[in-house]
Amino acid sequence: MWLLIRLKMAVGRALGSAAIIADANCTRACLALSFVLLASSLGYAATGIRHIDTLGALVIAALAWREGRESFEKSRGGSCGCGGACQS
């Protein structure tokens, strides 16, 4: 997965494509979410402590909040990729 992220970033930079770079960042976020889910699930399975799974859910919620906030900030900035042609 890390190789895919690195290759997407390289292609996005080479082409100057904000969409491909954004896709690489999305893949990075999905990888982080998957890692947290796996780690918390394994921690719960190994120890039986329910709070480990709860902490994992809180970390996932925080990561999702951060990604959502970043998306809204970018949309307010007018970075739609149309070069300003879509604004009336």
* Domain chopping of the chain, boundaries: 2-68
Question: Which of 6-10, 13-17, 34-38, 74-78 has the weakest average pLDDT?
Answer: 74-78
Q: How many whole angstroms separate alpha carbon 65 and alpha carbon 10?
A: 27
DSSP of 49-77: -HHHHHHHHHHHHHHHHHHHHHHHHHHHT
Residues 73-83 have a mean pLDDT of 66
Residue 46, pLDDT score: 95
- The tens digit of pLDDT for each residue in 26-77 reads 899 999 999 999 999 999 999 999 899 999 999 999 999 998 888 788 778 7
Q: What is the pTM of this model?
A: 0.72
